[in-house]
Amino acid sequence: MDDRWTPVLAELRERFASDTDVVEVEAYLSSQGYNRRQIGEILSLLYSDSVPSPAWGGTQSALEPSLRVQGPHERGRFATDAWGYLIAMHRAGSLSLIDFEQLVERALVHVDGRITLSDVRTIAEDLGVDEGAMGRERPLIH
- Give the Cα separation of 142 and 140 in Å (integer): 6
Mean residue pLDDT across the chain: 77
Percent of residues, the chain, with pLDDT higher than 70: 75
Q: What is the pLDDT of residue 68?
A: 66
Look up the pTM and report it.
Answer: 0.48
The domains of the chain are located at: 5-50, 72-127
Q: What is the pLDDT of residues 43-79, one digit of tens each?
A: 878 876 444 444 444 444 444 555 667 777 777 888 8
Burial class (CB in 10 A: 0-12, 13-18, 19+), 60: exposed
Q: Work out the pLDDT band at 118, boundaries 50, 70, 90.
A: very high
What is the average per-residue pLDDT within 72-101?
83
Going by C-alpha positions, the residue among 54, 46, 50 that lies closest to residue 21 is 46
